[in-house]
A and B are shown apart, each in its own frame.
Chain A
Amino acid sequence: MPTLTYAKALNQALIEEMERDDSVFVCGEEVAKWGGSFTVTMGLLDRFGEKRVRDTPISEEGIVGLGIGAAMAGLKPVVEIMTVNFIMLAMDQIVNHMAKLRYMSGGQVTVPLVIRTPGGGGLQMGSQHSQSLESMFVHVPGLVVMAPSNPYDAKGMLKTAIRDNNPVLFIEHESIYNTKSEVPEDEYFVPIGKADVKRQGDDITIIGHLKMVNVALEAAKRLESEYGISAEVIDPRTLAPLDTQTLVQSVKKTGKAVIVQECWPHCSVGTDMAYTIMSEAFDYLDAPVKVISSANCPFPYSRQLEQMALPNVGTVIDAVKQMLGK
């Protein structure tokens, strides 16, 4: 089976979907000639031409609105917002239009638009370029929010997002574009709303998304080898709608849960998951659900300070040990 990077896996998904359906088109800043600032759209311009692969001006509100209008009229746009930090400029179009047009029109209008955008920190990009803003979209009814953590999921999830009729926020992560995994050559899809148990275990459930899945898996490995603790790692993959069933099933088995996220601690994906687990599996819990978040501050530039702001393998191990009284 071939091994692909996360970026290449997304690139393949785009190629396959664009070849299959000529209503799929890509637009965004530097997606065409440059090939995407993270190489995800490399080669698409040569393959599909200018009409279907469009470089846009720096106009996030305009290009998201354009994507919405094109989707309403029957096309399948895949709009790239260079990083999630810039999506704030398009929040009105996303929250007040993309998420609501179907409902406000009594179901007449559909918006099968996919917005692809990477977030995340740890690369010294500074406060305005290091954020994880997925929580903002999970909060708004009417949006599917997907967040693949590895190349296999990335390809299968992007293909599903493009085929689906709903508006989708497809959140990637800047520092995992070069991570690799095996990706089947034959066509496959990863469904919306289905979490994945990335590692089976019995003593504790660790839930993470995007880059934190790798952190959780690394922590689980060391917990096993150094402390004999068997941790189950779950990747929700879709943040909205959330696969509550899989999370709760795991917690019923282990009795303990730690959630690790790059989001800030308040009103976040992780704190919301913790509430969901506590309200649905309270009788099975031996301890309150712990959420490890990024520090409650803007991300600093200076390298060591920035590393202190982010959750890491060490913080996950410490939290697990504490919960298990080790």
Chain B
Amino acid sequence: MQTGEMVKEMSVEELTKLYRQMVLIRRFEEKTNEMYHAGHIGGYCHLYIGEEAVAVGALNALQPSDYVIGAYRDHGHAIVKGCEPKHVMAELFGKATGVSKGKGGSMHMFNREKRFLGGDGIVAGELPIAVGLAYSIEYRGGDEVVLCFFGDGAVNEGGFHEALNLASLWNLPVIFLCENNLWGMGTPVSKASCSIELTERASCYCMRLGKVDGMDVLAVLDTTRRAVKYCRNTRKPTFIEAVTQRFVGHSVSDPQIYRSKDEVAKARQRDPIETLKNLLIAEGIRRPDELESIDEDAQREVDDAVEFAMQSPFPDADELCSDVMDTEYFSAETK
């Protein structure tokens, strides 16, 4: 379905939700950057600024019982899949009230109950695991699907290939969604892949392929909905390449010497949030002042999240070695 048609088909509430989620992620990530440089957040921190349309569009195509797993640029996915921003910010601050009790950090956001299974700091590490989640669904005869996010860098890891082969060989319902933001850290796709057409990476794995403009949230929603429907009905995997742009560095400490300021400025000309905003105004679905009000509300939510994180305690010392194992090992007495 074309974006123009989608706007007419979708309700005001649905469209507003997409807009708000993208704005919330944007404000959240901007604040995260600020907090990082103020010394409250440490280690690795990869921001999703510019890429919001992919997580928001794709995740809104799912049912709550579908599983989601992704890579380390995961704050946006975590929020849309159901982690509260205040608990995500608290995790970034390393506080006990974080989604992972402060023990995971930026790359390891989890919400088991909402079926958001991370967050993974190892490129392509999540793909074989996604296949296992799908295996469990088929084993139990469910109708859920698994949405697995990864970047353009992952398509050259061995695990990517093993996972796609297994999913296709065994008919496992995984939607493999490649967020191609054109750069693997400082390496452009053209210097990493013998083919820059990333759908070709998946074309030998006997699965349906799709490619979508990742800067258009409605296009991403539409493409993912079709992929989800196909996957849910046929129980076969599928691959989507979403071409997007990150407006910032690979991580908060990346000076981006590998690309020019002009290139970044050019990328920023197609802001997914502005694109949707202009469309909603042009179609008379929302007034500018309404959207501004949503922006302010999102900013407030982010500011509250920071306040919550600031006020929260750090984990106790006995958290250091807890959750490593289940130390109540199985014993015959308790069988």
* Among A57-65, A279-287, A313-321, the stretch in contact with B: A57-65
A55 → chain B, closest Cβ, in Å? 10
Q: Does any Cβ of B come within 8 Å of A75's Cβ?
A: yes
Cβ A92 vs Cβ B132 within 8 A: no
A58 CB to closest chain B CB (Å) equals: 9
User: Taking A70-B139, A75-B136, A92-B125 as contacts, is the C-beta distance between A110 and B131 under 8 angstroms?
Assistant: no
A105 touching B166, Cβ below 8 Å: no
Contact with A along B99-123 (1 / 0, CB 8 A): 1111110001011110001111110
Q: Knowing A62-B162, A65-B163, A166-B329 are in contact, say whether A105-B129 is a contact too (CB < 8 A).
A: no
In the complex the two chains form, is A72's CB within 8 Å of B335's CB? no
Given A56-B166, A61-B159, A65-B128, A144–B110 Cβ distance below 8 Å?
A: no
Main secondary structure of the interface of B (DSSP, over half): loop
With beta carbons under 8 angstroms apart, the residue of A51, A64, A97 that contacts B122 is: A97
Cβ of A1 within 8 Å of any chain B Cβ, yes or no, is no
Given contacts A65-B163, A103-B324, A160 and B330 within 8 Å (CB-CB): yes
Do residues B139 and A75 form an inter-chain contact, with CB atoms below 8 A?
yes
Is the beta-carbon distance between A141 and B324 smaller than 8 angstroms? yes
Query: Does A108 reach chain B (CB closer than 8 Å)?
Result: yes
Task: Give per-residue flags for A100-144: 1 if the beta carbon is below 8 A from chain B beta carbons, else 0.
Answer: 011111111110000000000000000000000000000001101
Given contacts A25-B139, A69-B133, 13 further A-B contacts (CB under 8 A): A61-B128, A66-B132, A67-B132, A70-B132, A70-B135, A73-B67, A73-B132, A92-B122, A92-B159, A96-B125, A104-B118, A106-B110, A189-B335
A172-195: CB near B (< 8 Å → 1, else 0) gives 000000000000000011011100
B57 at the interface (CB under 8 A from A): no
Residues of A within 8 A of B111 (CB): 108
With contacts A66-B166, A192-B330 taken as known, whether A106 is within 8 angstroms of B98 at the C-beta atoms is: yes
For the complex, give the distance between the alpha carbons of A61 and B160 in Å.
Answer: 10
B251 interface residue, CB < 8 Å from A? no
Pick from A59, A64, A96, A102 the residue with the most CB of B within 10 Å: A59
B98 cross-chain contacts in A, Cβ below 8 A: 106
* Minimum CB–CB distance for A59 against chain B, Å: 4
Q: Are A65 and B100 in contact (CB under 8 A)?
A: no
14 contacts between A and B (CB under 8 A): A57-B169, A61-B159, A61-B162, A66-B129, A66-B131, A70-B133, A73-B132, A93-B159, A105-B104, A106-B100, A106-B110, A106-B323, A108-B111, A165-B330
The yes or no answer to B165 lying at the interface (CB within 8 A) is: yes
Q: Interface residues, chain A, CB within 8 Å of chain B?
A: 25, 51, 54, 56-57, 59, 61-75, 77, 92-93, 96-97, 101-110, 141-142, 144, 160, 163-166, 188-189, 191-193
Given known pairs A70-B132, A71-B132, the reply for A163 and B125 (CB within 8 Å) is: no
Contact check, B136 vs A189: say whether CB atoms are below 8 A apart: no
- With both beta carbons as reference points, the residue of chain B lying nearest to A98 in the complex is identified as B129
In the complex, which of the residues B110, B132, B163, B335 contacts A105, with contact meaning CB atoms closer than 8 Å? B110
Judge whether B329 and A192 touch: CB under 8 Å.
yes
Q: Are B100 and A105 in contact (CB under 8 A)?
A: yes
Closest CB in chain A relative to B161 CB, distance in Å: 8
Would you call A191 and B165 a contact (CB within 8 A)?
no
How far is A108 from B103 in the complex, measured between Cα atoms in Å?
11
Q: Which residues of B sit under 8 angstroms from A62, Cβ to Cβ?
A: 128, 131, 159, 162-163, 165-166
Across the two chains, which residue of chain A brings its CB closest to B144? Answer: A73
Residues on the B chain within 8 Å of A107, using CB: 101, 322-323
A109 engages B329 (CB within 8 Å): no
Of all chain B residues, which has the CB nearest A167?
Answer: B325
Asked whether A108 lies within 8 Å of B137 as measured between CB atoms, the reply is: no
- Chain A residues with Cβ below 8 Å from B324 are 102-103, 141-142
Q: B332 an interface residue at 8 Å Cβ cutoff? A: yes
Give Cα distance in the complex from A62 to B126, angstroms.
10
B172 to chain A, nearest CB (A): 9
Complex interface: chain A residues within 8 A of B9 (CB): none
> Does the CB pair B135–A69 fall under 8 Å?
yes
Smallest CB-CB separation from B91: which chain A residue?
Answer: A106
CB < 8 Å neighbour of A70 from B118, B122, B136, B159: B136
- B147 on the interface (CB 8 Å rule)? no
A200 to B102, CA, bound (A): 48
> Using a CB-CB cutoff of 8 Å, which residues 57-73 of chain B contact chain A?
67, 69
Residues in A whose Cβ lies below 8 Å from that of B108: 104-105
Name which residue of chain A comes closest to B123, CB basis: A92
Q: Quick check: A66 and B128 within 8 Å, CB to CB? A: yes
Question: Residue B128 contacts which of A68, A101, A163 (CB distance < 8 angstroms)?
Answer: A68
User: Which of B104, B111, B119, B120 neighbours the largest number of chain A CB atoms within 10 Å of its CB?
Assistant: B104
**Closest Cβ–Cβ distance, residue A187 to chain B (whole Å):** 9
Q: B39 in the interface, Cβ–Cβ < 8 Å?
A: no
| Top 9 A-B residue pairs of the complex, sorted by shortest distance between their CB atoms | A69-B132, A65-B128, A62-B162, A106-B101, A73-B136, A106-B100, A105-B110, A107-B323, A66-B132
Smallest CB gap from A79: residue in B: B132
B158 within 8 A of A: yes
Assembled-state Cα–Cα distance A184/B205 (Å): 48
**Which single member of A65, A74, A101 contacts B127 (CB below 8 Å)?**
A65
- Please tell me if the beta carbons of A103 and B103 are within 8 angstroms of each other in the complex: yes
B130 on interface, CB distance cutoff 8 Å? yes
A30 to B87, CA, bound (A): 45
**B325 near A144 (CB under 8 angstroms)?**
yes
- Contact, CB under 8 Å: B129 / A69: yes
Instruction: Point out the residues of chain A lying under 8 angstroms from B133, CB to CB.
Output: 69-70, 72-73
Is the beta-carbon distance between B128 and A69 smaller than 8 angstroms?
yes
Q: Indicate if the CB atoms of B131 and A108 lie closer than 8 Å.
A: no
Bound complex: CA A251 to CA B111 (Å): 47
Determine how close the nearest CB of chain B comes to the CB of A172; give it in whole angstroms: 19
Which of B102, B120, B130, B331 gathers most chain A CB within 10 Å? Answer: B331
Residues of chain A with a CB closer than 8 A to B331's CB: 189, 191
Nearest residue in B to A71 (C-beta to C-beta)? Answer: B132
